């Protein structure tokens, strides 16, 4: 309480132009330690994401073994919220009010983060690099304490829209999307990119519910529309069903599949590698299992990290590479903040990352933020599945979100 | 003197540690109220927030208990009433800018009507079949809340932000104020339930539970009473949902999955069937038991995230243990304890 008061006074002093007075460090920061809070779905319907929290925990272990950040060890407190928004609210309050963490990092899920969005901003606690691709995390004027990380879903939708306009300007487009904000965000991105062409080219759009047992009937309906480009916005389970059904009925359009499902292990293998040939998608970080990165130094370092600090983790699961990359983004912010670890300064540095390279991002990619740009990653590269691996093609594509 | 009154409860003449039972009850009530009023000033804001949640869950459990404990009807669909109440409040506050305190009663009334209407056709269903029908209600509700043509009101998957009221009373912070607000609403509801189950309606409800044929022979309109009970149960759970929305400051379809119904059921069974104080015990169990499990696991495994999966194993063990040791719920345990310790006067 005293600390917060002091930092308020310090900020007020700065605002009055009293000179570069240093704000007091955030709660949870000592000379030897920085406490970071997190919530993850270790149980419940989204528990497959739980490995992200675990790989980040292992990443901090490895950083602490190397002496920590500027001499401070990271204490990572991660609670299970079961992907339930009211539970997230409770756990986040516990982290901030009882455990007194300095800030939260990589809290996972769109509905869950929505439940604490206002609370974090009211409390003025940095709500850093949330693990969701929704666009609403980048509103610095309205929510100055919340920032996202991964390329948002609208960006990917825009990339798909652009690809269709460039390569198939006269296509007949069919779309399937999951009926929630994740699915709809992609379509919004496509619409923004394609303008009035969207209504001209799209001949049929179907949706599915995440609770549906199968999407076979939607696929048959889309195939009957005569479309020759298929935009598939679905999670791995349904993407695999779609690919299988398409092979069964002999529908062979140009298949654009969202990055969420472009996984060899969880989508293409169950759907049949032969059936999946030719599918186009996008990505922003390296697949550590791809032979292309066999001799890549960063990938080797990741393998060594997994062996030593997270031996239970599945190396075939790309989320573990994601956790490594985002953890190093956080480390970069703390390094930049140096010994000025007030909440204000941590937030300021998170919004002041200039072309920071973090391991496992695709070559040429960097994290970049500014006080008006709260979208750290806005580039992706397209790739095509050749029957055994995703082959990247074309340049890095930037799609700035307004 | 009381022993001469033919209406007197014979149990009232017993003594617990030399104190007459009605007096014991009065002392317990006074101590309970005193604790409920003073505790929020002695603990952190986070603990006050948790206590507020306990009250909200207790009200929902009470609603379910009126239906199952007193009337013998099963429901796996109370998350739907809770959601309906929460959304009614959220929509009134967010879309129509109505003050939060005016939204509680309408939320309850909407759920009363919803419960009554659902109760009418559900009357044809007994026991497990009714449980299945209500299960369908619980599963359908989050989907309906997502439905795009309702999005204008429900906010779709994004949900709705609910503004938390500031405390209008100086000396109380927002968390403490909200706690007392929920406490007052909860106290009124408990008083209402207490009156209901002790009166004519309550006797009819219990008679239908114990023997529906005999009850109808006695002239009780079973279908009407069953529907009304469903409505009243919905009313309570809906008000809990309305308060829950204000406490959590947010509603979204993912907050009201079928699992919430199961939590209410767990709270009711662990607390004890057909008992009003049991609802509070149920609320405490729902909120604190997962947290206790988490603490126990972190006591043994530290902060190792790989141990997170064990939290629910620990919770499961606690639950099995509770059901095994106190089959009549925590309220039943207390009742048994009193029965053992109480003595007839002069004995």
pLDDT at A15: 44
If you average pLDDT over residues B203-226, what whole number do you get? 91
- A127-128/A173-178 β-pairing: unpaired
Residues 118-147 of A with CB under 8 A from B: 118-119
For residue A374, what are its two tokens? 């709260």
CA–CA dist A377, A283 (Å, integer): 11
What DSSP designation does A192 have? H
Is A153-283+382-398 a CATH 3.30.565.10 domain?
no
Instruction: Identify the residue among A80, A85, A86, A206 best suited for mutation to test binding to B, counting B beta carbons within 10 A and taking the highest.
Output: A86
Q: Coil, strand, or helix at residue A245?
A: helix
CA–CA dist B183, B32 (Å, integer): 12
Between A401 and A374, residue with greater pLDDT: A374
pLDDT at A400: 64
CA–CA dist A272, B59 (Å, integer): 52
CA–CA dist B209, B69 (Å, integer): 9
For B290-315, the pLDDT digits (tens) are 888 888 888 888 767 667 778 888 88
Highest mean pLDDT (candidates A38-42, A43-47, B147-151):
A38-42
Q: Which region, left, alpha or beta, applies to residue A126 given φ > 0 means left and ψ of -120 to 50 means alpha? A: beta
Distance between A15 CA and the closest CA of chain B, angstroms: 27
Burial of A172 (0-12, 13-18, 19+ CB in 10 A): middle
Q: Could you say which of A57, A84, A118 has the minimum Cβ distance to residue B254?
A: A84
pLDDT at B4: 60
Contacts (Cβ under 8 Å, ≥6 apart) of A13: A19, A21
CA–CA dist A352, B276 (Å, integer): 56
Distance between B285 CA and the closest CA of chain A, angstroms: 15
Show residues of chain A in contact with B309, CB under 8 Å. Answer: 42-43
- A103-105/A33-40 β-pairing: parallel
Q: Does B156 touch chain A (CB under 8 A)?
A: yes
SS3 track for chain B:
CHHHCCCCCHHHHCEECCEEHHHHHHHHHHHHHHHHHHHHHCCCHHHHHHHHHHHHHHHHHHHHHHHHCCCCCCCCCHHHHHHHHHHHHHHHHHHHCCCHHHCHHHHHHHHHHHHHHHHHHHCCCCHHHHHHHHHHHHHHHHHHHHCHHHHHHHCHHHCEECCCCCCCCCCCCHHHHHHHHHHHHHHHHHHHHHHHHHCHHHHHHHHHHHCHHHHHHCCCCHHHHHHHHHHHHHHHHHHHHHHHHHHHCEECHHHHCHHHHHHHHHHHHHHCCCCCHHHHHHHHHHHHHHHHHHHHHHHHHCCCHHHHHHHHHHHHHHHHHHHHHCCCHHHHHHHHHHHHHCECCCC
Q: Does A76 touch chain B (CB under 8 A)?
A: yes
CA–CA dist B122, A161 (Å, integer): 50
CA–CA dist A189, A168 (Å, integer): 18
Residues 326-355 of A with CB under 8 A from B: none
Distance between B255 CA and the closest CA of chain A, angstroms: 6
Show residues of chain B in contact with A44, CB under 8 Å. Answer: 259
Q: Does A115 touch chain B (CB under 8 A)?
A: yes
Residue A379 φ/ψ, nearest 5 degrees: -125, 150
CA–CA dist B239, B246 (Å, integer): 11
Q: Does A212 touch chain B (CB under 8 A)?
A: no
For residue A160, what are its two tokens? 């798909």
Instruction: Identify the residue among A60, A97, A114 best suited for mutation to test binding to B, counting B beta carbons within 10 A and taking the highest.
Output: A114
- Altogether, the residues listed in chain B come to a count of 347
For A2-22, the pLDDT digits (tens) are 444 444 444 444 444 443 445
| Residue A236: pLDDT over 90 | no
Domain ranges of chain A: 2-151+295-371, 153-283+382-398
Show residues of chain A in contact with B143, CB under 8 Å. Answer: 209, 211
Show residues of chain B in contact with A180, CB under 8 Å. Answer: 146, 156-157
CA–CA dist B104, B101 (Å, integer): 6
If you average pLDDT over residues A33-51, what whole number do you get? 88
CA–CA dist B58, A245 (Å, integer): 48
Instruction: Identify the residue among B47, B146, B157, B302 best suited for mutation to test binding to A, counting A beta carbons within 10 A and taking the highest.
Output: B157
- In this structure, what is the dihedral angle of CA atoms B115, B227, B136, B262, given to the nearest 10 degrees? 80
Tokens 């299992």 label which residue? A289
Average pLDDT, chain A: 89
pLDDT at A12: 47
Nearest CA in chain A to B246: A86
| Residue A218: pLDDT over 90 | yes
A89 and B305 in contact by Cβ < 8 A?
no
Q: Could you say which of B157, B253, B306 has the minimum Cβ distance to residue A54?
A: B306
Model-wide pTM > 0.90: no
List C-alpha distances in Å: A308 to A57, A78, A381: 13, 21, 31
The architecture (CATH level 2) of A2-151+295-371 comes to: 3-Layer(aba) Sandwich (3.40)
List C-alpha distances in Å: A29 to A67, A91, A242, A392, B125: 16, 20, 50, 43, 60
CA–CA dist B308, B295 (Å, integer): 11
If you average pLDDT over residues B172-200, what whole number do you get? 93
For residue A214, what are its two tokens? 């199968």
Q: Is it true that A2-151+295-371 and A153-283+382-398 share their CATH fold?
A: yes
pLDDT at A1: 40
Q: Does A40 touch chain B (CB under 8 A)?
A: yes
If you average pLDDT over residues B11-31, what whole number do you get? 82
Contact in structure between A115 and A86 (CB atoms under 8 Å): yes
Contact in structure between B335 and B21 (CB atoms under 8 Å): no
Q: Which region, left, alpha or beta, applies to residue A387 given φ > 0 means left and ψ of -120 to 50 means alpha? A: left
Distance between A202 CA and the closest CA of chain B, angstroms: 20
For residue B185, what are its two tokens? 């609403």
Q: Does B176 touch chain A (CB under 8 A)?
A: no
Residue A179 φ/ψ, nearest 5 degrees: -85, 65
Of the CA atoms within 13 Å of residue B91, those in its CB half-sphere come to 17
ipTM of this complex prediction, to 2 decimal places: 0.76
B53 and A90 in contact by Cβ < 8 A?
yes
If you average pLDDT over residues B189-205, what whole number do you get? 93
Show residues of chain B in contact with A86, CB under 8 Å. Answer: 53, 244, 248, 250, 255
For A105-136, the pLDDT digits (tens) are 999 988 899 889 989 999 999 999 999 988 88
Q: Could you say which of B139, B255, B312 has the minimum Cβ distance to residue A86?
A: B255
């Amino acid at each position: 309480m005293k600390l917060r008061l002091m930092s308020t006074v310090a900020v007020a002093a700065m605002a009055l132009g009293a000179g570069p007075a240093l704000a007091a460090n955030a709660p949870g920061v000592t000379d030897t330690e920085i406490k970071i809070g997190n919530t993850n779905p270790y149980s419940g319907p989204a528990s497959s994401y739980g490995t992200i929290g675990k790989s980040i925990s292992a990443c901090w272990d490895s950083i602490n073994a190397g002496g920590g950040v500027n001499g401070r060890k990271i204490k990572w407190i991660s609670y299970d919220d079961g992907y339930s928004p009211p539970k997230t609210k409770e756990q986040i309050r516990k982290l901030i009010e009882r455990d007194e963490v300095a800030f939260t990092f990589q809290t996972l899920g769109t509905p869950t983060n929505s439940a604490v969005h206002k609370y974090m901003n009211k409390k003025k606690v940095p709500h850093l690099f949330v693990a969701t691709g929704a666009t609403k995390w980048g509103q610095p004027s309205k929510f100055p304490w919340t920032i996202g990380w991964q390329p948002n879903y609208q960006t990917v939708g825009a990339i798909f829209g652009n690809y269709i306009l460039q390569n198939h300007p006269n296509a007949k487009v069919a779309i399937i999307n999951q009926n929630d904000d994740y699915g709809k965000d992609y379509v919004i991105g496509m619409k923004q990119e394609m303008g009035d062409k969207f209504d001209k080219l799209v001949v049929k759009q179907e949706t599915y519910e995440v609770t549906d047992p199968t999407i076979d009937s939607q696929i048959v309906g889309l195939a009957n529309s005569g479309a020759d480009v298929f935009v598939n916005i679905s999670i791995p389970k349904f993407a695999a069903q779609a690919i299988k059904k398409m092979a069964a009925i002999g529908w062979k359009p140009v298949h654009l599949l969202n990055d969420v499902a472009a996984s060899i292990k969880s989508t293409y293998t169950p759907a049949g590698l032969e059936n999946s040939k030719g599918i186009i998608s996008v990505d922003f970080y390296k697949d550590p299992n791809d032979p292309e990165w066999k001799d890549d130094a960063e990938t080797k370092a990741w393998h060594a990290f997994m062996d030593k600090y997270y031996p239970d983790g599945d190396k075939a699961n790309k989320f573990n590479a994601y956790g490594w990359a985002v953890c190093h983004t956080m480390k970069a912010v703390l390094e930049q903040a140096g010994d000025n670890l007030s909440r204000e300064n941590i937030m300021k540095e998170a919004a002041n990352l200039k072309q920071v390279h973090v391991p496992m991002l695709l070559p040429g990619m960097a994290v970049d933020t500014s006080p008006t740009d709260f979208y750290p990653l806005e580039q992706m590269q397209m790739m095509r599945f050749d029957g055994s691996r995703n082959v990247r093609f074309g340049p890095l594509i930037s799609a700035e979100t307004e | 003197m009381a022993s001469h009154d033919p209406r007197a409860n014979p149990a009232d003449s017993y003594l617990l540690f030399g104190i007459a039972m009605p007096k014991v009850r009065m002392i317990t009530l006074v101590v309970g109220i005193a604790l409920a009023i003073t505790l929020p000033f002695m603990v952190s804001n986070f603990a006050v927030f948790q206590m507020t949640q306990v009250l909200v869950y207790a009200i929902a459990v009470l609603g379910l208990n009126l239906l199952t404990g007193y009337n013998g009807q099963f429901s796996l669909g109370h998350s739907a009433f809770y959601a309906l109440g929460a959304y009614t409040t959220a929509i009134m506050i967010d879309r129509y800018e109505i003050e939060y305190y005016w939204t509680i009663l309408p939320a309850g009334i909407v759920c009363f009507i919803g419960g009554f209407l659902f109760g009418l056709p559900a009357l044809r269903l007994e026991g497990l079949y009714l449980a299945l029908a209500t299960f369908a209600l619980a599963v359908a509700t989050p989907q309906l809340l997502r439905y795009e043509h309702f999005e204008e009101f429900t906010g779709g998957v994004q949900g709705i932000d609910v503004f938390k009221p500031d405390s209008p009373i100086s000396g109380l912070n927002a968390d403490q104020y909200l706690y007392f607000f929920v406490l007052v609403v909860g106290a009124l509801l408990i008083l209402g339930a207490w009156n209901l189950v002790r009166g004519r309606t309550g006797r009819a409800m219990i008679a239908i539970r114990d023997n529906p044929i005999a009850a109808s022979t006695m002239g009780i309109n079973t279908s009407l009473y069953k529907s009304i009970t469903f409505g009243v149960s919905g009313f309570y759970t809906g008000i809990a949902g309305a308060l829950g929305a204000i406490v959590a400051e947010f509603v979204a379809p993912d907050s009201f999955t079928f699992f919430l119904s199961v939590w209410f059921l767990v709270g009711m069974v662990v607390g004890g069937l057909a008992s009003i104080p049991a609802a509070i015990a149920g609320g405490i169990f729902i909120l604190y038991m997962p947290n206790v499990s988490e603490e126990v696991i972190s006591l043994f495994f530290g902060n190792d995230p790989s141990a997170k999966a064990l939290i629910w194993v620990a919770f499961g063990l606690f639950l099995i243990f509770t059901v095994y040791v106190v089959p009549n719920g925590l309220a039943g345990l207390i009742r048994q304890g009193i029965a053992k310790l109480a003595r007839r006067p002069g004995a």
